[in-house]
Chains A and B, each alone.
Chain A
Amino acid sequence: MRTKALLSVAAIAASAISAMAQGNVYSLNIVGYATVTVNPGYNLLANPLDAGSTNSAASIMPIIDGEYVLTWNNGSFTEVIYDSTAGGWVQADDTTPSAPPSLPPGKGFFFFNPASTATNFTFVGQVVPGPGSSNTIPLTPGYSLVGSALPAAVTTITNSPVSLPTILGMYILQWSNGKYTQVIYDTTVPGGPWVQADDTTPTTAPGYSIGSGVFIFNPNTTTVNWTQSLP
């Protein structure tokens, strides 16, 4: 019996030493969090971190009873509501059950906060892309509601690592205090290439803050890819 116990201990010790002797394993995943202020009324947001397979609205951020989530699909908004008096997540008719919308990094959305005070949302998840790979966000002809898939803040949206590509005639619409600020990229205008919505008054390229959504108008007839990679 004593010999048997000694042999067992020796076997466990040997397997532990063997495991420790193997080479170090490094993870290529970068996990982080980002806190975004959500004001009363509409907020234009984009999930900055990959929280899992679906990145559903129910899993990436807190639920506020009476909230609306609007995503942009083929030129119009799709609205999903969380309404406890209607059974939870419902379609815009406030009756038909719906799955919470999928909001992966790179996809912008409007979030309507029905409360009268601001609150903070903390997004938690993995940074995409991982080292050695890249993100591609398609900017289709017309309007696209997008956000930087990479959680980064820059003073100029075209700067790395956000790296929004410039397209002649593109509009960038950012939402603040219940209205858009529009900037146009137009190299043919004196004082350009960045001008205000009147396509005349010179301005600077907008910045970008973590977790914000943005409408991009692509005037071309073909899709332009917005590619990002870690510096």
Chain B
Amino acid sequence: MKKLAAILCLSALTTGAFAQGTVSFANGPSTLISYSPPSGVTTLPVSAVGSYIYGLLIGSAATGPFTFSGVYATNTAAGSKLGPATYTPPVAGWAVNASMFFEVAGWSSTLGYTFKNGWLVNNVPAAPGAAVWGGSGYFGLSNVGSGTSGGGVTPPLPVFGGTGVSGFDLAPVGVPEPSSMALAGLGAAALLIFRRRK
């Protein structure tokens, strides 16, 4: 009996070492995604599926470093919802029943589908207008969550809610901010006025 149990244990351990833990990569009604247009912060509007892309980043410590896991999600019909919830992917680098820290990055599809490591500098989004954005759009990073991945009789870990991440905000990147545009406009107008007075 003991021998059999030992064999079973070893086999489970071997399988576990290669098996990848599962997560539910979808948000709920209390963890919707918002964005910051010039007028203020609001929930992401209803938008075509695929307008926003989300990536799961994982790390072994709460302070990071966090690396992109290769797992993507996108918005469903509503812009502020990502999923669907059946999207319970195995996560490379995260073993079954192992505890990890994680966060979610979100961006508008105008920045491209693929997550770029350069978007984060020491786990903080690069400055708006930086060349690394490669275009104009929105980008945001969630708070850090933690939990145990699923697999077998362990349910998939919901990335959002509970001890996971909450809803977060996407902010404009890759384009001059409206306030900068307004300042530039004011400067040009002042120059014109001075030239006319001379």
Contact = CB atoms under 8 A, between A and B. Distances in A.
Contacts of A178: 147-148, 163
Contacts of A77: 155-156
Given A41-B158, A95-B76, A115-B162, 11 more contacts: A40-B161, A40-B163, A68-B158, A84-B29, A92-B84, A94-B84, A114-B28, A114-B158, A115-B161, A145-B153, A188-B2
Interface of A: 40-42, 65-66, 68, 70, 72, 77, 79, 81, 83-85, 91-95, 110, 112-116, 143, 145, 168-169, 173, 178-180, 184, 186, 188-189, 198-200, 215
A57 B97 CA distance: 27
A116 B5 CA distance: 39
A179 B86 CA distance: 22
Contacts of B9: 198-199
Given A40-B162, A94-B83, A95-B84, A70 B155 contact: yes
A42 B24 CA distance: 13
A85 B81 contact: yes
Pick from B5, B32, B97, B156 the residue with the most CB of A within 10 Å. Answer: B5
A116 B162 contact: yes
A187 to B, nearest CB: 8
Interface in B68-109: 76, 78, 81, 83-86, 97
Given A66-B29, A173-B153, A198-B9, A42 B1 contact: no
Contacts of A83: 28-29
A60 B194 CA distance: 76
